[in-house]
Amino acid sequence: MTTTRTGVAVIGTGTMGSAIMWRLSERGVPVLGLEQFTPGHDRGSGHGESRIFRTAYHEDPAYVPMLRAALRGWRELGEQIGEPVLTMTGGLSIGPSTGVIVGGSLEAAEVHALTQEILDPAEFGTRFPAQRLREGDTALWEKDAGVIRPELAITGAVRRACELGASVRTGSRVQGIEDGPGDTVLVRLEDEVIRADHVVVAAGAWIPGLLPAAQFPLTVERKILAWFPAGDPTQFGPDRFPVFLRDSPEGRWYGFPSMDGETVKIALHLGGRETDPDELDRVVHDEDTAPLRDLVRRYLPGLGSRPVRAAVCMYTNTPDGHFVIGHPPAYRNVTVVSACSGHGFKFAPVIGEIAADLSCGSTPEFPLELFDVNRFAE
């Protein structure tokens, strides 16, 4: 069995791992990415053609400074790879004024002096005729929101990292992580051992199996994405139909403008069957899309009532919905970055910087108490 030496080994080259590789490579750190599939694959949580970027963050106002940095990072990545990964469309938050989405967005806007418009029903109907507003709902408009292209973002970050000196092992499933000689860490593959000064685990739904001694209380949910045909595609383009989040009696859900000129993607944020990432049912069944079909009929009358295609992805959730970032005490010279709980993609460039700081022994610019790896310890 061969042994390979590297500075930092990044396990998982998806949403976070790709950005971590990019940010470490910019600093001249020797980086080796380990990927059980290939960068940009559709087996985890980083696919589906579109992800929402937004700034007035209802999950917690503490995220807003990170989002401002992430916005700069997405634009920087687009410039470096020669193709934009983020399209700004503006964004809508819709629901009861005291609900999670609208109430939390208003709080974040107040804490960080963000500009938001509260739209009355008449103005909402004029500006966004493709959406149907429920009686009693409040609609908020924010300018700093848009669509990230996830597959391009991931493959672009990995490609840029490799241009800067990084390398990637594809088809390489990690068998175990253990202490090595001196202060090194050994990452065992099927036919190779990687000896690294530091290891970053950014493997999403596979993290519990890679770091069993950390005993993170993570759950993996099977999620459905569905694309519905637009009757008049011009009504659903990025210039007329912004990204949105809605808090409805049927649940919290979200959607995107048409990125292909033909269809509109929507998905439910809450709910989903708990699963194992290696045993995920990747077949979309008729009952999977039934809740989404009901939402389309009620709130998006310009779309066809049945999806033309659908896909399966995963959320890796923490009990409180916040991320896990830091050094698990049970492992030496290991940083864990993930458990994005269905809302982490937009943060990848800034979390890449944070993980690079932690890997290099530097203090990150942003406080990490909200993401403390020990907060679930009994």
The pLDDT assigned to 338 comes to 87
Domain that holds residue 311: 90-147+219-316
50 vs 46: CA distance, rounded Å: 9
- Which CATH number covers residue 233? 3.30.9.10
User: Does 275 lie in the same domain as 204?
Assistant: no
User: Does 332 lie in the same domain as 202?
Assistant: yes
User: Does 129 lie in the same domain as 142?
Assistant: yes
Does 116 map to a domain? yes
Last residue of a domain, one of 316, 335, 360: 316
The pLDDT assigned to 167 comes to 98
User: Does 298 lie in the same domain as 261?
Assistant: yes
User: Does 304 lie in the same domain as 235?
Assistant: yes
329-354 confidence digits (pLDDT tens): 999 999 999 878 999 999 999 999 99
Last residue of a domain, one of 289, 316, 343: 316
Over residues 21-33, mean pLDDT: 98
How many angstroms separate the Cα of 350 from the Cα of each of 13, 59, 64, 344? 16, 17, 12, 11
30 vs 21: CA distance, rounded Å: 9
Beta bridge pairs of residue 87: 147
User: Does 308 lie in the same domain as 251?
Assistant: yes
User: Does 32 lie in the same domain as 124?
Assistant: no
Does 79 map to a domain? no
Helix, strand, coil % (nearest 5) of the chain?
A: 30, 30, 40
User: Does 108 lie in the same domain as 143?
Assistant: yes
Phi, psi (degrees; rounded to nearest 5) at 206: -90, 0
Does 71 map to a domain? no
333 vs 20: CA distance, rounded Å: 16
Question: pLDDT at residue 77 above 80?
Answer: yes
User: Does 175 lie in the same domain as 126?
Assistant: no
- Choose among 255, 228, 240, 208: nearest CA to 50: 255
- Residues contacting 243, CB < 8 A, separation 6+: 52, 53, 54, 89, 90, 91, 92, 145, 146, 147, 254, 255, 256, 257
User: Does 206 lie in the same domain as 167?
Assistant: yes
The pLDDT assigned to 377 comes to 84
* 286 band by pLDDT with thresholds 50, 70 and 90: very high
User: Does 311 lie in the same domain as 171?
Assistant: no
User: Does 181 lie in the same domain as 243?
Assistant: no
The pLDDT assigned to 340 comes to 87
- Which CATH number covers residue 184? 3.50.50.60
The pLDDT assigned to 378 comes to 62
- Residues contacting 91, CB < 8 A, separation 6+: 52, 54, 141, 142, 144, 145, 146, 242, 243, 244, 245
227-274 confidence digits (pLDDT tens): 999 999 999 999 999 999 999 999 999 999 999 999 999 999 988 999
Burial of 92 (0-12, 13-18, 19+ CB in 10 A): buried
- Residues contacting 285, CB < 8 A, separation 6+: none
Over residues 289-297, mean pLDDT: 98
51-63 confidence digits (pLDDT tens): 999 999 999 999 9
Q: What's the structural domain count of the chain? A: 2
How many angstroms separate the Cα of 9 from the Cα of each of 13, 195, 200, 371? 11, 8, 6, 22
Does 33 map to a domain? yes
Does 191 map to a domain? yes
